Amino acid sequence: QHGRVKIKSTAQQEEEKRKEREKKLKVYVAARDACFSKRKEGIMDDEALQLTQQLLSSNPDFATLWNYRREILMHMETVKDEDQVQKIYETELSFLESCLKVNPKSYGSWHQRGWVSARLPRPDWARELSLCDRCLSLDDRNFHCWDYRRMVVKMSGVPVDQELGFTDRLIGSNFSNYSSWHYRSTLLPLLHPESPEPPSPSREPPRSSPPPSPPTQSHRVCEEQLLKEYELVQNAFFTDPNDQSAWFYYRWLLGRAEREEMISCVYVSREVERVAVACSRPVNAQSVGLLLVLDGQPQRVEWRSVHPQLKHSPVWICDLPPGTISDVVNEHNLTVHWTEKHTHRDCALYTGRSESWCRDSATDQELFRSELSVEKTSVLQSELQSCNQLQELEPLNKWCLLTIILLMRALDPLGYEKETLAHFRTLKEVDSMRSAYYSDLCSRFMIENTILKMEYAEVRVFSISDKNLTTLCHLDQLLLVTHINVSCNQLQQLPPHFAMLQCLEVLEADNNSIEDLEGLHHLPKLEEVLLKNNKISTLADLQPLASCPKLKRLDLRGNPVAGTANLEVELAQLLPSVMHLLL
C-alpha cells in the first residue's frame, strides 16, 4: 500500500475550513480595528496604506477604508515630489486591478479608480481603455465599467470615430447589448451631424474632427450615415427578431423629429369673457411666462388650468375682467406671448362675433407623424418594405408588427388605417400580456385619425363611436369641438383632461363603461350629456356635473345609479339647471 492516496473526509475538510475562516476573521477584525484607530489619530503613513489594502482586497466595498485611503494619498501628494506621487498612484492602480479581478462590479473599486486616474500626474489612458475593453469582453453589461470608460474617454479625448469603431466591435460580438447601441446613438450625431443645408450624397462626412458642440446640438444624423445604420440594425433584427435592443435602436434611428414649440391655438369667448390657450406641449403657465395682451395693453390675468389636478397642461384659461370684451359692437385684438420661447399668437375678435380663434391645424403640422421622424418618405417606404419582408417570414413577431404600425403611421395614417387595425389585432393575440397597452396605443391612433378627418372636413364635431377606444388622448386638439360622440367604446372614465374641451356643448357617451366623470369640470357651454348604459353608480359620481352651469339634458338610463332611491329629488338639488332628465 505504499504511496496509496487517501482523501480527507468531509468532516475533516469542514473542520479545516471552519478553522481557516476563524483565523481569517480574526486577522480581518484586528486589521480593521487598527485602521480605525489610526484614522482617529490622523496617521497617514505607509503602514495605514498597507493595512487598508489588506482589508480592501478581501472586501472592496468598505467605503470608509477607501475614504481613509484617499485622505492618505492626498496627504502624500503634499509631501512627495511628482515622480513619487506618480509611483504611488500607479501602485494604487495595480492594486485596484487586483480588486476588480475579485469583484468586477465593486462600486468602491471603480470609484477609487476614477479618482486615482483623475489625479495621476501622468495618466496612461491607453492602459485604462484596454482595461475597460478587457472587462467588457468578460461582461459586456458591466455598467460600472461603462461608466468608468466614459470618464476615460472624456478625459483622454478619444476621437469619436474611434469610439464608433469600438461600438462596432461590441455590437459585432453581441448585438443584444443595448449599452453599445445606446452609446452609438450618442456618437453618431457628433460624428455625422445632419447638415443644415440639404445633404449632397457626395459629401464626405467629417472624420475624427473634434465634435462641434454648439449649445443646441442637433440629435439628428446625416442621411448617408442613417442608411448605413438602417442596414446594420436590419442585420440584427433579421438575425434575431425577438431581441429588443436592435428594435429600440431602430426606432431611435427612425424618429427623432423635434416638434416646434409654439402656441397652437388661442380661443376667445365674448360671452363668458374668457381666453383659452393651447400650447404644443404641457406647460405650467405661471412658470413659463404666458402673457396676454389685449388691444395693446398687457393684462394682469390669472391663468388657470382647466382642472385642478393638472399642474402641467397644454391648455390654460383665464377670465378677463368683467365688461372688457362683452360689448358686441367692439372689435378686439388679442396676442398671447409665450415669453420663455419667444413665440406668440394673435387672435382678432371681430364686431358682432361671439367667439373667435386662431390656430395651427393638426393637418398643417403633421402633428402625429412626429412619433417617427419627418424622414424622407422614400426612406421610410423602403424601411416599411424591409419590415414587411420580415413580417412575411415572422408573421407573429411583435416588434416587427409594432414597427410596421409606426412606419405606416409616419407614411400615411389614414391610408393604412385598415392594415394598422389588423396588425393591432394580431399584436393583442401574440402578446396578450400587453394587450391593454396595444388597446391604448390603438385608441390614440384612432383618435389622431379622427382629428385629421375632422380637420379635413373643417367641422367642430368630433365623432369616434364604436372604435374600441379604451382611453382618450390629444384632448388639447379638441379645444374648439362643440359636439363629441364617443359612444359605443370601452371607456371607463372621462379623465381630468376632458376639461380641455372648453367649447363642448353636447357629449354623447352612451354604451361605455364610464364610472367617473371627473373631466366634466367647469365646462362653460356644456348643455347635454348622454350617458346611457354606463357604470355610474352613486350620486357622488355625478358631482362634477354641478360645475357645468348650462347643463340642461342628462341621460342616465341603464346606469346602476338609476336605481337609487329619491334620485330625482337629489338630482334636482344637485343639478338645478337640468330640465330633461332620463333615468
Residue numbers at the binding site for other proteins (CB under 8 A): 1-8, 13, 140, 172-176, 234-236, 238-241, 386, 389-390, 393-394
Query: From the CB of 99, what's the least distance to other proteins, in Å?
Result: 18
User: Which residues, 6 or more positions from 129, have their beta carbon under 8 angstroms from its beta carbon?
Assistant: 149, 152, 153, 156, 158
**Strands lying side by side in the sheet with 580-582:** 461-463, 483-485, 506-508, 528-530, 553-555, 580-582
Nearer to other proteins, 237 or 462 (CB): 237
Nearer to other proteins, 1 or 216 (CB): 1
Burial of 221 per CB tally in 10 Å (0-12, 13-18, 19+) = buried
Strands 343-349 and 332-338: antiparallel
The candidate with the shortest Cα–Cα distance to 448, out of 492, 414, 406, 496, is: 414
Query: From the CB of 582, what's the least distance to other proteins, in Å?
Result: 58
Per-residue burial over 82-107, b = 16 or more CB atoms within 10 Å of its CB, e = otherwise: eeebeebbbebbebbeebbeeebbbe
Q: Which helix (H) or strand (E) holds 172?
A: helix 160-173
Per-residue burial over 426-450, b = 16 or more CB atoms within 10 Å of its CB, e = otherwise: bbbeebeeeeeebbebbbbbbbbbb
Nearer to other proteins, 4 or 418 (CB): 4
Cell numbers at residue 579, please? Answer: 330640465
Nearer to other proteins, 241 or 519 (CB): 241
Nearer to other proteins, 55 or 253 (CB): 253
Query: Sign of the C-alpha dihedral, residues 271, 275, 281, 285?
Result: negative
Q: CB neighbours (10 Å) of residue 563?
A: 9
Nearer to other proteins, 177 or 559 (CB): 177
Query: From the CB of 10, what's the least distance to other proteins, in Å?
Result: 10
Nearer to other proteins, 137 or 513 (CB): 137
Nearer to other proteins, 104 or 560 (CB): 104
Which residue type does 485 have?
N
Query: From the CB of 2, what's the least distance to other proteins, in Å?
Result: 6
Query: From the CB of 234, what's the least distance to other proteins, in Å?
Result: 5
The span from the CA of 382 to the CA of 164, in Å, is 26
Query: From the CB of 233, what's the least distance to other proteins, in Å?
Result: 10
User: Which residues, 6 or more positions from 89, have their beta carbon under 8 angstroms from its beta carbon?
Assistant: 73, 116, 119, 120, 121
DSSP assignment of 430-465 equals HTGGGHHHHHHHHHHHHHHHHHHHHHHHT-SEEE--
The candidate with the shortest Cα–Cα distance to 268, out of 194, 319, 212, is: 319
Nearer to other proteins, 77 or 140 (CB): 140
3-state secondary structure of 388: helix
Nearer to other proteins, 235 or 573 (CB): 235
Query: From the CB of 223, what's the least distance to other proteins, in Å?
Result: 20
How many Å is the maximal CA-CA distance in the chain? 123
Query: From the CB of 517, what's the least distance to other proteins, in Å?
Result: 50
